[in-house]
Amino acid sequence: MLYAGVVMMDRCIIGARCIIQPGVTIGGDGFSFRPSPIKPDHPEFAKWPGGMKLMKLPHVGTVVLGAEVETGAGTCIDRGRLGSTSIGDGTKVDNLVQIAHNCRIGKCCVLCGQAGLAGSVTLGDWVQIGGGAGIADNLTIGSGAKIAARSAVMNDVPAGETWAGVPAMAGKAYLRGLATLRRLARGG
């Protein structure tokens, strides 16, 4: 089921019984740029700082959604740079989620609203990502892991662990830190 305003770019694959809510974009280019020098005799040389500008890297990969994937309204799933961005069977993606190029999402994961995965993130099966959480590029979140809402994950997360905070850390360490801050705030 594809609702109004869905954009699906070329060569992307949607599995059986998927539900794609309004305004979803599947297969747009990822966000990949590299500095590129401009020759000193180029007429625009002076307008670019240090004689450099950003050059877009091509994304020629695709997106593959497994069976029974649901994506919420306004979600963007970028195509892979060379390979594919993939989402496993049964995964549910809420509204306004960003899934960058080359991400690999396992089966039966849940990504809540406004979560963002940077490029080349890997999620195992049954991972839960809370609303507004951000995962930095090239990280692995192990199967069964849970990331609390609004967390900023900058390290790999082992399977089965719960992480929270900015920067995100193991849940027990995060809660101990909060308790310590509260004691300090009360003067003890």
* Residue appearing with tokens 């990504």: 111
Residue-wise pLDDT tens digits, 78-89 = 999 999 999 999
Residue-wise pLDDT tens digits, 5-47 = 999 999 999 999 999 999 999 999 999 999 999 888 888 888 8
Residue 80's domain comprises 7-185
Determine, yes or no, domain membership for 16: yes
Determine, yes or no, domain membership for 2: no
Q: To which H or E segment does residue 171 belong?
A: helix 171-185
Determine, yes or no, domain membership for 1: no
Q: Integer distance in angstroms from the first to the last C-alpha of the chain?
A: 58
Phi and psi torsions of 34, nearest 5°: -140, 150
CATH of the domain at 83: 2.160.10.10
* Residue appearing with tokens 């069977």: 89
Of 150, 126, 8, which Cα lies nearest the Cα of 77? 8
Residues recognised as catalytic:
101
> What domain count does the chain have?
1
The whole-model pTM stands at 0.92
